[in-house]
Structure 1
Amino acid sequence: MIRPAVAADAGWIADIWNGIIADTLVTFTTVPKTPDAVAQMIAEQTVLVADTQAGFATFGPFRSGPGYAATVEHTVLLSRTARGQGIGTALMQALITEAQDAGHRVMVAAISGENPPAVAFHAALGFQMVAHMPQVGRKSGRWLDLILMQKVLTGVHDGDALPADRV
């Protein structure tokens, strides 16, 4: 059910993402994703998809610089009809495994304060709230809060080095 994304998935991933960008305050961005940009993301980082085209999950760098190399930030988005069916949980469990296997230590979720279900979803996956930043984002004429949650990944220990291509 969950598999690595391929370039042919870029169109439907962009469609899901763009619906969320246009119709919600879940993401602070207002810039639509093009299939070409999504295909480039697929080529450059881990992207997993539900093979039913119901959703996707990805992670990438949390911040630039070698000191943050072991920390990643993720995105998980589902189509409206796929929510509440366990697809998001399956995507996240697979994504966490991918991050662990790549030697990452911490996964960060940056969640809109307008998305309480995402906070509950991440808490159920073992993420802890580490910050609530009031009014740091703006979209649709509104100031929006940002909630940061993180999960320390199991199997990754202090002092473990990332592979050279990850630093």
Structure 2
Amino acid sequence: MKIRHAQPADSASITQITNTIIRDSLATFTTEERQPESIAADIEARSGYFLVAEEEGKVLGFATYGPFRSGPGYAHTREHSIQLTPEARGRGIGRALMTTLENAAIENNVHVLVAGISSENPTAIAFHMALGFSEVGRMPQVGRKWGRWLDLVLMQKILASN
């Protein structure tokens, strides 16, 4: 398994990973599936901050970060996303992606990484806790999917002192 920068050619694999999660889970509140073209544009816009885990030519997951909020006061804070295929889970691939992403963030003067996680995804909450993230807030019923109100758990990790 190797971690590398995502390429626009990875967009079909990434689309399949993310659309499966959108369709089949409450891990995201999003209900609109993504298109490969929009993911390819995201990859090009975030060059260096969009990573994939690949094994034997197959993309098993991705991790990326982007702005947390607009404005210069948030210049050193980023919100990240990480998603894996079912067969990649529990194998250390998520940890490897996050370690690589955190190292890139530190090199780019990111001070804090933020995660917005569905309360219906306790595995992701535990994963982030194991990586040193702390729960800093819960926003009750801010999401809606499948006819249910869903809570958002906010977690963060301070990466380095600047």
Q: CA deviation at 1:48?
A: 0.3
What's 1:63 paired with? Answer: 69
**In 1, distance between residues paired with 2:27 and 2:134?**
19
Question: 2:124 aligns to what SS in structure 1?
Answer: helix
TM-score, normalised on structure 2? 0.94
Instruction: Report what 1:2 is aligned to.
Output: 3
**2:155 aligns to what?**
149
Which residue number in structure 2 is paired with residue 136 of structure 1? Answer: 142
SS at match of 2:132: coil
Q: 1:99, 1:61 → 2: CA distance?
A: 12
Please say if 1:109 is aligned against 2:115.
yes
Structure 2 SS opposite 1:54: strand
Alignment partners' CA distance in 2, 1:30 and 1:65: 28
Unaligned runs of 5+ in 2: none
How many Å separate the matches in 2 of 1:146 and 1:15? Answer: 24
> Which residue matches 2:104?
98
Q: How do residues 78-97 of structure 1 correspond to structure 2 at under 5 angstroms?
A: 78-97=84-103
Q: In 2, Cα distance between the equivalents of 1:135 and 1:31?
A: 19
Q: Shift of the alpha carbon at 1:81?
A: 1.1
SS in 2 for 1:94: helix
Q: CA deviation at 1:132?
A: 1.1
Give how far 1:145 is off: 0.5
Among the aligned pairs, what percent are the same residue? 55
Give the alignment's Cα RMSD to 1 decimal. Answer: 0.7
CA shift digits 1:110-155 (9 cap, x unpaired): 000000111110011000100011111101110000000000012x
What aligned pairs does 1:40-79 form with structure 2 within 5 A after superposition? 40-45=41-46, 46-52=49-55, 53-79=59-85
